[in-house]
Each structure stands twice: as structure tokens, then as C-alpha cells.
Structure 1
């Protein structure tokens, strides 16, 4: 038996055979540089700006956002009454508590300030390039990179005379946080451009600086029409009602308004009545500053929030109880105008449309200066709105709270393998893999894309975990020296099959016009995930890498080439920590069983 270099595993290789490939001249953890580009600086983009630099070694990271400020939807939307429609304390990052929310449903500017504060604290701003708009994304298969066309203002451009230039960037990984409700639409109503008064869209409110109230301070003698009864209109109507002479709410459909169940939970914890968008007192905030109390308070709210998924399923006790409770609450709040209740309370199930609490909306409809108009609009004239029954409503201002394009067919070219566009892939409706990626589009991951919404639960937590998934995929590409990682078509098709089997069991499949179904009454559900919020978090916690196809970065036909030269970088260079497995972050101390 030999123990020399010519032994069994010596220079002649295993069993005397010469190795058929050369070892890589790199260590197993000598990671290749990765260029990661994120599109969007909203909730997802800020989380990406924290997690990618934190967890991906040797990463070259940038965030492009077309807006002049960060915050995504909370930057774009500035309409009257803009606020969170779930409890503020459940709409924040898991790792960054905010104990200073002013009210149960925090106003939009406050949420934007929170996001700005988080970005500043975690030094995300250094990665963000504002007023940089994605104009095209093209997968280059030979390189294994995304080629991106970006538009930005010229250095000497002014707000009054904007001039632009385009440049190209490349990315090993593309992460998009473009937002589900970011592409707003004008309503398809004849004559919209003929109106001689002021026309506003809820997503393009005419506010540059200051508060929205500054823009309506001279509306005291105005007659204002608000088109719609979705979540935006439900916030706009009570905000404008005391500011204008007359307000007409043009309502085509019906909608449920939620009872304040979490407000009651908050009241139980704080020991007093907190219904009606409770304004938190200094005493409340002082209690929140106690980390133990706040942690329990937040847990109580989110635990309750994650207990109502059954109400989205057909025929469940929770769905029937919700219908009964919401009907009673809406009738009570519309006691002065029972005729409105008959028109507004739906036949379809609770949560078929996006559910909102709408504090103050029903009460505003009962005010003397508000008209609730259910007759359909025929056309818009120079002076107002003509209805199909021949009546005409003279107006000074028309507010279109008429929603967004939820087809996910972006206005710019998004081109994957073999020249196939995302627009083609999403026709007639989007098909994805776990709402994260699409076959034929390697090294691309998205947040808040198709089927990313939920009828209950914390959206912020979901967006965080979608970022985490993209980070894990990036680490796999980097660690195993892969050029591309692309989900298999079969995996997309089978997730689609699951989706088609799931939604008929839910209230979402009932007949109601909703952005969940791309603005249609019936058809494909593209807005929400086929399962609960908690179900989704579990589903994406551990990526199924077997659902993906891979291309190696190096032209070597051996799956273990990424092992490199048989050592780690710190060993080779005698630098850094060579006992890292003993660090507090690495050691997993098991609990001692009590029995």
C-alpha cells in the first residue's frame, strides 16, 4: 500500500486514469462579480436595496426609478384622503417598526416618509437613480445578461423644458418591482377631452408641493363629480365633501365596505374605543415605544389579520358571517339614506372586489351636498356629464377614480429568449411561476406581479419574501457559476393548472367587476394568489430548484466545476476568518428538551 504521490489517488488520477478536465483556478467561495439591476424604488425596491447588498458578495447593484422621488405608489398618488386601507402597524417592514403612526389608517404622505426614512437608515439611496425610466429589456442569450435601455433627463434639462437621453446597461440579474397598481387609465367615456372644466385622475392628482388641500382651497363654490366607487373614490369622496359646494358620486357597480374588526382588536389592547380611524395619542405612542409591548401589539394585529382567509372561500361560515355583519354595518351607516344601501350593497360575496374599510365614505354620502348617482354615464360634455336617461349634471371639476391597467402588459418592450415578448406571454392573460418569474425569461424575478395580491394578510411581508427569493436565485447563479437560470415551461403550466382549480372554490370567481379580473366581471383571476398570505410565504420559503433549467457559465462539461481548486479563499490567501463556523451567526444552538 503506497502513501506517496503516485498512490491510488495520485497524479495519475482515480484508478490510474488521467482527469478529463482541469480544476478551476478559483476557490469555492471566490464568487464572481454580479451585476443586479432593480427597476422601481417602492416598497419592493427599497427592500431589494437592503437585501441584495447585504447578502450577495461582490455585487454591483443599482435601482432605476422613473419618478423624481422614492416610494412607488406612495410617491405617485397624492389624491385627497389617500391612506393605507389596512392597519398601519401591519403595513411596514418586518425588520423596521414604526411606533409613530398618527392614525389607524395612516395617510399616504406619512407612509412615504416612513419609506424615505427606511431608505436613508439602511443607506439605500446611494444605489437609487431617480428619473431613470426603463424603456426596454432584452435578454442576450449568448452573454447570459439582460440588456436594458434607460432614459434619463439631460444634465442641462429643466422642469419647464425636459430633454432626455438614452443609454444602455447590462445585468446578470434583473429584478422588477414595477407595482401592480402603477399604470393608471383614463375611463373610456365619450367626450372626456371636450370638458372645459378641470379633469383629474386619482393617480395623477395635480399636486407638486405641499398638501392636496392647498390645491382645493378655492373649491368652496365648485360642483365636483367623482367617477367610481373603488378604493380611491371611497377615500376621495369623504375628503372632498366638506371642501366643495356640491359633490356627485357617479357609481356604476356595487361594493362592500368592511367592518372595523381590527380597530376593535386595537381597542381591546389599548383599553378604549378605537373605532373610526383612531388617532393615536401621545400616550399610545409612548406605550408603543416599549419594545416588548409593541412587539406583542403588532403580533396580535397580524395574527388576527391572518385569521380571516376562510372568508374568501365560498360557503364558509366566515364568508356568511362577513356578509351578515357588513350588510348590517352598511345599513346602519346609511340610515339617513336607505336608498343608497339598496344600490350599493352587493349580491356577490364579500371580497369578490378589493375590500376596503372606507372610514367616512358612507357618512359622506348622507350629507346634504352629496348626490349618489347610479344612472350610467352616456358622455362627457363641455359643461359636465350627460346620463343615459337624458339628464345633465353641470360640473366644474371631474375626478376620474377609475382604476389601473392590471393586464401587466407593459408599454415598453420586454423581450425574452427567441424574441418572445412578455406581452405575448401574457396574452390572453398572465401565466407565471408562483407569481415570481416566467418561462423563457431567464435571470428575471418580479415582485407584486400577476397573482401577487391577497384578500387578507400583510402585503409588505409578501414583498419582502419575493425579494428574498430573488436574492436566493442570484446566490445560486453566483455560487454555482451559472450563466442562466430559467423556470421550466412545464412548471409554469402546472402552477397555472393549480390556479385554475383553486379559484372556483373562492369568492373571487363570482360575478363582479374587479381589477382582480383585469377590470372584467367574469374571467381569469390575475390579481390575487391562489391561497392565503401565509400559504404563499411557506410556498416560496424554499425554492424548488428542480423546476428550473440551467446553463453553465464556463464551457466545461462537469457539474462540479464550481468547486474550484479544492479550498476556500481565506485558506488560499491566509486572510479573513478561517473559523467562521464558530461565529454567532453560524452556530445554531439547539433548545434543550424539557423531557
Structure 2
């Protein structure tokens, strides 16, 4: 109204009647954020690169229970271990390797590749090995994760790294592995990349521990500390009778590796499986003009020299991976691609088993191709036909002191028993993760896990994951998906930091909607057919918990642009205005009169639009 005297403007720090006051920070003055990652396999290594690259003022710690980096590639060192997709498709998008020795790279090369990435990006400054997280709890008042970490006290095996600053005094104790100490740490954002192939387990077979010969699991640490330990273990096996239980990837690799080195192998096989022709083998043969019948082609010096040409290698890798990403239609039930795959693999297996054709009657499945994890397994079928290998499809009754008794009463005498029986695929983590209201992820994920796009779940704010439930791919390269899952977690951290949020949590209804999508997608695929698979927590039938509901490329697209509207947010205590993050109305460079104050003109900031050619203008 005329005559009214306007109120003077408020100055910075002066509160209005509502209690709002401007922040004492500039809009791009990056709030410190603390990130803890659990696991130093592929996921943790990518996280170690991307979080510091993209998040300013971040404090990052990566804890891993093992004595070395690599995750499952560190814990598994059995003879014959190799990648089961083409090596050139099993590498990071930004870190190419041109000197793989073979089409399916052996485990030591993959572990060496991972170590080289760690060394190149100097990630050991973030990684703490032999540090096992034993408890994680979300603290609602502070919006932080409180972690308890255990490490061995023996200085010969424990790296000399101090606990985090201001951590409570460490607690000491002892278990079957020796003396340890526990200390606490906190995180604004928790990222887990523990994977489903990290917790191996013994098979449930009566009398297993009564065996008096040498008993191993393919991922057993007691023998798996290095390839040399395995080589020493099998050095005197030339006169030994060896039993191998299983027909998954590990068994399919270890049987042909041991066959020439032992007196006898008995492969105990409970189920059936498809043995594939080499994935993208025809494309590889086309690209480098090699014999298409060679299952695990060994690259020549000439091949490797050609790969040193960046343009040639880029094109080679692109075409190979594009071919690998063309397999998805075969996973759809009753599709033409599925029928073609069955016919091709059936003929392949029958051809390889001509010396012992009866094995095909017990090994070739009735279920569709890819219902179980599909493995090419170079040399496996040939090894089954060797004179010193027995294929035993009769079920095991129990293990005896000197062998295995079958349900038909037959007894196989053995000197060595190897369990190639896999992992705990339940996604029931081996340490408690406690969310809002004291709820544990173990309870929430019973009888099966539920997530949002396989990267987070409701009731557990500020927690993102890679390789969690429904993260696997039935075709394509898993590493492309892992990179996008890390990117998603990094984007969440950036949002928390930029908007100065206390918590980011996916909405319960968003988790329910993704769950409904899962339930409707998988019945259209071969994964829902009756076959015992770790995709279904080791069961023949039931919910598919391990695989993404779609192709690898579909997953990459789905995670490309986060739908932030599917999340709910908490502001810091005492802050009610959602615009608090705008700060004091200026940028840091203006506030300090330092740095670039016309950065928006830089080439990497300007989006130059393409100019249409004259002939395209009508």
C-alpha cells in the first residue's frame, strides 16, 4: 500500500520469521563427503577410480577381507581357471589390454590386469586389505553408516594402516583364524561390491568331513593362496585317483586341466548342462582370419602386434563386443534364436562325445540353452572321452573315509576329492547390515531379495551396491553393467553433496514396482524353465534373483539417467527450506576472487551444435 515502508533486506546469516537464513557457503563450495566401499574386486576398483575423479572433497576408503585385490579372481586360483567370455570383452571400457594370451584369458592374467589398473591409478592409497567389515548400521539421527571392521593382529599378514581418525579405541579378540582387533568407521555413503561369487561353501553331502584323503574346494583359501600352492599340491598326483563333484564353470575348467596330470578322474555330475561353442568364436575367426574350429585360440605375436594399433584394436574390440551383445534373443523362450542355439549346441556336444556317446544321454539337457549359466568349456568334453576319466551321473549317497558311495551301492575309491560346487547364492550377506528401525537386510531379503534397479533398496538410506541381487547378465559383458552401477552410486553421492542432503532413500513403492517388473519379465525367458541354477539360488524352480530382467544393453540404458523422483530425501537437522543448498548467492571463485570466472566459455563446457549441410535444408 502507498506509504508502507519496505523492510530492509536481510543480510547473510540473518534469520527470517520462519527461521530461514542463508547458508554461509557458496553454491559450488563442495561439502566434505565420506564414502566407504566394501570389496576390492572389479566393482571396488572402478569405485576407487570414479569417486575421486567425479566427487570433489571426497574421503574414500575401500575395505577388503582378502590379502590382495581382485575379488573372486583373487580367491580362485585352481588349475584351468579362465574367463568364460572372450578376454577382449572382459576389460574396462576405459582401460584396454592388447596382449591377452588367449581367447579365454587364464585367471592369473585377469588378476594381473586388475593389479595393473590398481597400480596405474594408485588405488592402494584407498584400499585396506585384510579388513573384514563385520557389522554395518545406519544411524538415523546423523544420517551416517556406522561400520565395525576386523583385521588380524599378526603384523606378518596385516598391513600397517592406522584406524580412521577419531575412531573409538580398537577392541581385541580371537577366533579360529587367530588374534584380531576391531575398530569403527563411519560413512556418509556406503557402497558395496561384494558380489555373489565371494562366499564359497561346501556341498551338503553326508560324510564329507569323514574323507581321509585330500579334500579341496576350488575356492578354498587353504590351497588357493597362489597358483604355486595348487601346483605344489597336484605335483605328486600322477598316481592319484581324483574325484571332482560338479558340472558348473569350475568343474568344466578343472577337469581338463587335471586330466593329463593324474592317474584317474571321476567327475560326479548330478544335473545336466549345455556346453556351448565359443562365444563370438565365429566373429573372432572372421576378424583375425584364424581357424574357426579352434575353441581357445592362442594369440600370436603377429596378432598382438596388430592390436597395438589403437584404431585397429578399437574396431576389433567394438565388433567383438557388439557380436557378444547380439545373443540376448536366444534367452527368450521359443524364439528362433533359442531353437537355433539348441540345435547348434546339441550337434556340438554329440560331435565332441563320439568316443563315449552314452555321456550325451546324461549330459545334454531338456531345458533351454542358458537356463543355467552357459559355459563354453574348451577341452571339457574331450577330457570326458579320455581313457582315465569316468563320467558318473549316478547320485552320491555319502562320502566314505576313502571315497564315495553312490545310491546304487557302487563305491568309487579316491585319493583326492575336489568340490567344484560353487558359492552361497542367497544374497544373505555374511555380516549384518542394519537399516532404519533396526531392520536387517537379512530379514528384508527373506525369502528373496528386493531392490530398485539392482542398485539400492528401501529402508536402507545412503547405501548403493554393485553386483547385488538381479545384477548378473545372461549375455553380454558384465563389466559394462558394473561400470554403470558404480556411475549410479557416484551420481547419488554428487547429489547428496551438491544439495547438502542428509539422506537419499529409494521409495518403497519404487522397489515394489521393480519387483512387479521382475515377476512379469522372467516367465518369458528360458531362465524360468526347470533347471538347477545359481540364478535361482541353487533351486530348480522359483524366483530368478541373480539376473537383470533384460539384456546387458537394456541394463546399461536403464541406469544411464537416474530417476530422482523415485527417491525421498532428508535435509540436515534444523534445515527446513529445500533451497538451503543455494548457499550465499555466489560461486566459490567469486567469493575468493580466485580461479576461472568465465569457465562456461571453455571448450569442454560449450556444447557446439552441428550445422546442417546446405543439401539437407529444404
So what's the TM-score if we normalise by structure 2? 0.93
Alignment of 1:120-159 (within 5 A): 120-154=119-153, 156=155
In the alignment, what sits opposite 2:483? Answer: 464
User: Offset at 1:421?
Assistant: 0.3
Kindly provide the CA deviation profile for residues 19-78 of structure 1, in whole angstroms up to 9, marking residues without a partner as x: 742111111111210010000000000000000001101001010000000010100001
RMSD, aligned α-carbons: 1.8
In the alignment, what sits opposite 1:528? Answer: 547
User: Offset at 1:213?
Assistant: 2.8
Alignment of 1:330-369 (within 5 A): 330-369=349-388
In the alignment, what sits opposite 1:412? Answer: 431
SS of residue paired to 1:429: coil
**Gaps in structure 2 of 5+ consecutive residues:** 159-175
User: Offset at 1:208?
Assistant: 3.1
Q: Do the aligned partners of residues 180 and 383 (structure 1) sit closer, same or farther apart at CA in structure 2, a change above 3 Å counting?
A: same
Preserved CA contact (<8 Å) 1:309 1:532 = yes
The alignment status of 1:33 with 2:32, answered yes or no, reads yes
Alignment of 1:96-245 (within 5 A): 96-154=95-153, 156=155, 162-204=178-220, 206-211=223-228, 212-245=230-263
Preserved CA contact (<8 Å) 1:64 1:130 = yes
Preserved CA contact (<8 Å) 1:207 1:215 = no
SS of residue paired to 1:490: helix
Q: Do the aligned partners of residues 209 and 182 (structure 1) sit closer, same or farther apart at CA in structure 2, a change above 3 Å counting?
A: closer
SS of residue paired to 2:237: coil
Preserved CA contact (<8 Å) 2:76 2:224 = no
SS of residue paired to 1:449: coil
Q: Do the aligned partners of residues 412 and 18 (structure 1) sit closer, same or farther apart at CA in structure 2, a change above 3 Å counting?
A: closer
Preserved CA contact (<8 Å) 1:71 1:112 = yes
In the alignment, what sits opposite 1:570? Answer: 589
In the alignment, what sits opposite 2:23? Answer: 24
Preserved CA contact (<8 Å) 1:264 1:273 = no
Q: How many residues align?
A: 588
- Alpha-carbon distance in 1 for matches of 2:329, 2:254: 30
SS of residue paired to 1:169: strand
Preserved CA contact (<8 Å) 2:22 2:580 = yes
Kindly provide the CA deviation profile for residues 112-135 of structure 1, in whole angstroms up to 9, marking residues without a partner as x: 000000111011111000000000
In the alignment, what sits opposite 1:249? Answer: 267
Preserved CA contact (<8 Å) 1:481 1:554 = no
- Alpha-carbon distance in 2 for matches of 1:124, 1:390: 55
Alignment of 1:77-92 (within 5 A): 77-92=76-91
Preserved CA contact (<8 Å) 1:52 1:471 = yes
- Alpha-carbon distance in 2 for matches of 1:225, 1:254: 18
SS of residue paired to 2:148: strand
Preserved CA contact (<8 Å) 1:157 1:163 = no
User: Offset at 1:220?
Assistant: 0.2
SS of residue paired to 1:203: coil
Q: Do the aligned partners of residues 481 and 525 (structure 1) sit closer, same or farther apart at CA in structure 2, a change above 3 Å counting?
A: same
Alignment of 1:486-501 (within 5 A): 486-501=505-520
The alignment status of 1:589 with 2:608, answered yes or no, reads yes
Kindly provide the CA deviation profile for residues 282-303 of structure 1, in whole angstroms up to 9, marking residues without a partner as x: 1000000000000000000111
In the alignment, what sits opposite 1:64? Answer: 63
In the alignment, what sits opposite 2:9? Answer: 11
Preserved CA contact (<8 Å) 2:244 2:255 = yes
The alignment status of 1:42 with 2:75, answered yes or no, reads no
So what's the TM-score if we normalise by structure 1? 0.96
